[in-house]
Amino acid sequence: MSTQASSTRRWWALALIAAAQFMVIMDTSIIGIALPEMQTDLGFSQENLTWVFNAYVIAFGGLLLLGGRLSDLWGARRIFATGWLVLLAGSITAGAAGNVGTELAGRAIQGAGAALIAPSALTLLMMLFGSTQQELTKALAVYGAAAPAGGTAGVFLGGVITEYLSWPWVFYINIPIAIIALAATPLLMPNAPARSGSIDILGALTVTAGLALAVYSIVRAPEVGWGSGQTWGYLAASAVLLGVFVLIQSRRREPLMRLGIFTAPNLAAANVAQVLLGAAWIPMWFFLNLYLQQVLGYSAFPAGAALLPMTTLIMLGMIVIAPRAMQRFGAKPMIVTGLIVLAAGLGWMALVRPTGNFWVDVLPASLVAAAGMSLAFIPSLGTAISAARPEEGGLASGIVNVSYQVGSALGLATMTAVAASFGANQIGNLPELTNGFSAAFLGAAVIALAGAGVTAVSMRTPQPDTAPEPVLEQH
């Protein structure tokens, strides 16, 4: 194959990897606008409705480490294709569901598929573009931009589908995309040989159950009380399970997550930044969507369209600005600045009014928040992946995906509890609803500021002699 044809194939492969990231994140957001119809058709209670989101995110976050391990052992291409098959099965189940249990099972199966796709996609990206720093930064920028694009496209498509078709189609839309991905994977993706090694099933079960209990206890806390025995009992059980997971990892010769990986410089700091980025960003997206529909009175389609300016800015920021700024300033200043700008946007958003409008209350603050996200996301993602040894690429990408998803789930659960305590559960009472949403935005701003502080203290700047001088000189 000629060099040009090989190069073209690599960029087509990147398009498929970015499409995978787009889909994985879109599946968390596309259901947002469809939730009221699903609630009516399937009989969800108001407090159980968040589980349509959480069932996906918990299966996704909890099984990502297993997905990364399988990718390293059995080959990234094989696990990538398997993930699409599982996602396809989950999408059909969720779309055809006639009751709450089947719906949540379908969402969990979708999450399991995503947990196989996400780490193997990042490993394939590293195999294709990891040889030169400049190409890797470009590829990560395209990959990174696919996440917020998927998030907002999900809201937009969810609005279109809910308004003009019916809610099952928010799941059926995955079917043709999965079929195309399955056909294209053997043609475009490099094949890594399988390696021998064991799979830590007990570790996968304990980490998934521990994360699920943590999210469940926080989601339920506003209803049963923060001081109740049930809340603290579940939190204690979650802590025990996660402690058992760490113990298992420290004792096994071939653990799901080698604890020593965190001694790699800046790997832990970059992952903490991703946790807090997810914990600040996802609640903002969730409650902004509710503010548009429940306070400003937007129907499904305009609510999705209202988030397009924000997404466009994020994509431009990640693809055009972030890679150049990263070469110029380095990862740490970018992450700290991005989180501070995100906090400023969220603080501005907390000023939303019950009698507000899109141009004053939503657009300016959402653009500031988007600018912050676009500055912080790529540097923290790139640092978290490239800090690990090459043979642990699947594990490193699994860990960084876990960090973002766990941050998203716990951040959303916590801010949902905060919003409810300030009135966000009083549907129809616009001042109280707005108070609740405002409290969630303010809480998310505090999380982003905490992220900036932790990164500033914990992340080390590489010494000049280890910095990629030739890359810097080109700009």
Interval 255-267: pLDDT, tens:
777 777 777 778 8
pLDDT value at residue 393: 67
Look-up of token digits 């994977």: 185
Question: Within this chain, do residues 381 and 428 fall inside the same structural domain, yes or no?
Answer: yes
Kindly state the tokens that stand for 251: 């004792």
Are 211 and 409 within 8 A, CB to CB? Answer: yes
Cα distances (Å, whole numbers) of residue 439 to 23, 39, 217 = 30, 25, 20
The mean-pLDDT minimum among 109-118, 202-211, 213-222, 270-279 falls in 213-222
Cβ-in-10-Å burial (0-12, 13-18, 19+) of 182 comes to: middle
Which residue range is the domain that position 382 belongs to? 3-199+256-473
CATH of the domain at 274: 1.20.1250.20
The amino acid occupying position 228 is: S
- Of residues 467 and 362, the one with the higher pLDDT is 362
Q: In which band, very low, low, confident or very high, does the pLDDT at 470 lie, cut at 50, 70 and 90?
A: very low
Q: In which band, very low, low, confident or very high, does the pLDDT at 252 lie, cut at 50, 70 and 90?
A: confident
Are 94 and 107 within 8 A, CB to CB? Answer: yes
Q: Which of 255, 280, 302 is the last residue of a domain?
A: 255
Q: Out of 99-113, 133-147, 346-360, 425-439, give the one with best mean pLDDT.
A: 346-360
Question: Within this chain, do residues 195 and 244 fall inside the same structural domain, yes or no?
Answer: no
Quick one: angle between helices 201-224 and 393-421, nearest 10? 10
Position 78 pLDDT exceeds 50: yes
For the stretch 325-338, pLDDT in tens is 877 888 899 999 99
Kindly state the tokens that stand for 381: 């993602």
Are 128 and 77 within 8 A, CB to CB? Answer: no
Position 452 pLDDT exceeds 60: yes
Q: In which band, very low, low, confident or very high, does the pLDDT at 4 lie, cut at 50, 70 and 90?
A: low
For the stretch 10-64, pLDDT in tens is 888 888 888 888 887 777 777 776 777 777 788 776 566 777 877 887 788 778 7
Number of compact structural domains in the chain: 2
Question: Within this chain, do residues 212 and 110 fall inside the same structural domain, yes or no?
Answer: no
Question: Within this chain, do residues 94 and 212 fall inside the same structural domain, yes or no?
Answer: no
Question: Within this chain, do residues 192 and 205 fall inside the same structural domain, yes or no?
Answer: no
Position 436 pLDDT exceeds 70: yes
Average pLDDT over the chain, rounded to an integer: 82
How many other C-beta atoms can be found within 10 angstroms of the C-beta atom of residue 62? 27
- Of residues 351 and 249, the one with the higher pLDDT is 351
- Of residues 297 and 48, the one with the higher pLDDT is 297
Question: Within this chain, do residues 227 and 125 fall inside the same structural domain, yes or no?
Answer: no
The pTM assigned to this predicted structure is 0.78
Q: What is the mean pLDDT of residues 172-197?
A: 83
Q: What is the mean pLDDT of residues 69-77?
A: 83
Question: Within this chain, do residues 307 and 326 fall inside the same structural domain, yes or no?
Answer: yes
pLDDT value at residue 424: 80
- Of residues 366 and 252, the one with the higher pLDDT is 366
Question: Within this chain, do residues 245 and 126 fall inside the same structural domain, yes or no?
Answer: no
- Of residues 405 and 85, the one with the higher pLDDT is 85
The number of helix segments (H) and strand segments (E) in the chain equals 19, 0
The mean-pLDDT minimum among 23-27, 339-343, 362-366 falls in 23-27
Position 469 pLDDT exceeds 50: no
Q: Which of 214, 235, 255 is the last residue of a domain?
A: 255
pLDDT value at residue 137: 74
For the stretch 88-119, pLDDT in tens is 999 999 988 888 889 899 999 998 998 898 88
Q: In which band, very low, low, confident or very high, does the pLDDT at 214 lie, cut at 50, 70 and 90?
A: confident
Question: Within this chain, do residues 304 and 354 fall inside the same structural domain, yes or no?
Answer: yes
Q: What is the mean pLDDT of residues 168-174?
A: 87
Question: Within this chain, do residues 213 and 295 fall inside the same structural domain, yes or no?
Answer: no
DSSP 8-class letter at 101: H
Question: Within this chain, do residues 251 and 266 fall inside the same structural domain, yes or no?
Answer: no
Q: What is the mean pLDDT of residues 116-139?
A: 80
Question: Within this chain, do residues 158 and 238 fall inside the same structural domain, yes or no?
Answer: no
The mean-pLDDT minimum among 107-111, 362-366, 382-386 falls in 382-386
Are 33 and 159 within 8 A, CB to CB? Answer: yes
pLDDT value at residue 474: 33
- What is the SS3 assignment for 353? coil
Q: In which band, very low, low, confident or very high, does the pLDDT at 81 lie, cut at 50, 70 and 90?
A: very high
Q: CA 126, CA 131: separation in Å to the nearest integer?
A: 8
Are 340 and 369 within 8 A, CB to CB? Answer: no
Are 147 and 122 within 8 A, CB to CB? Answer: no
pLDDT value at residue 358: 92
Tell me the percentage of the chain whose pLDDT exceeds 90: 24
